Structure 1
């Protein structure tokens, strides 16, 4: 395969000077960067835009807070502030830089309200997990966070029933030594199924 002559050509902040050696990734080239440094890198990486500087461009990255607010719509403290960036399971994710990520609502809370107390979770009072409005977030214990949730188990428990419909007042609850709660009606039904098998 012929060597692509890049001499004198400009790619991003880099200007090709001369080829150096042929490596595993094709021909390596020596480049002058606009910042004054020289760097050696595979020519292909530069031609396709994977490398655009000697590394100085990363050092000039914009502050995380500036990048964060570009991904938020809303502004009225009574309304949800929508996160328009990356998300996982409905919760916004924000790249802090350097490979570090955080949940978007935590970043907003810590920058506008303050540190989240150790051991506490942020509960979305608005029930909108993509909301980053810190006035919609309440630092609570993990237990309170779960009890405020809307999972079928919690909804049934708050209605005084187990997930299978047994009323807690009629059949009662068994509380194990470690504090877990079990429906006595479900325990009896499970024992009956096992005895019949």
Structure 2
């Protein structure tokens, strides 16, 4: 399945390499730029004024450095990208671009995945969805789970954040019936703290899971019940009576 080319978006491809949301934003942006240039979206002349580029002005991750004059009736500028590259671009194309860059941004928008798999995420769709979901939980305040992750200071290590392929190399293929889990819920998404875990394993690793001291180890009460061959209710009564020592988190 093709995905949106905008950095940080995993929405399905719709038109011009973008998902429906970003395509709609691009159309609105085009209409606004057209009004500034004296034309509407249907190229009819309307009242307005052309706004020239100024030195030092930023467009996305590009900074205008020097005007290069006109070429074939089109104004050109020299821009410096945040990645360090310098590139000559038509001023109109830069101002009308929804995601202007020297060319580095499209390659990074899928975190290195498209370069290796010829534009397809289908082969690693399950792993990529887990990866993108973790990023959203850590960095998108619009995410419903943000308060429990990014809101508590949970982040993703730079190595993974910059490259999905690095994440895939460290984690490997996702086994059926599992999802991405942090061993320590107070630490970040990083190689030494992440595993593929089943729903049952994740439930026992929650911050509010009841844990006890068992044979010099701290384990969930549910796991202790299984080891002792009794029901969870019996193990809970033993804990309340003091026969099993509860560990406060």
TM above 0.5, yes or no, is no
Would you tell me which structure has more helix in proportion to its own residues? Answer: 2
TM-score between the two structures when normalised by the length of structure 1: 0.37
TM-score between the two structures when normalised by the length of structure 2: 0.31
Would you tell me which structure has more strand in proportion to its own residues? Answer: 1
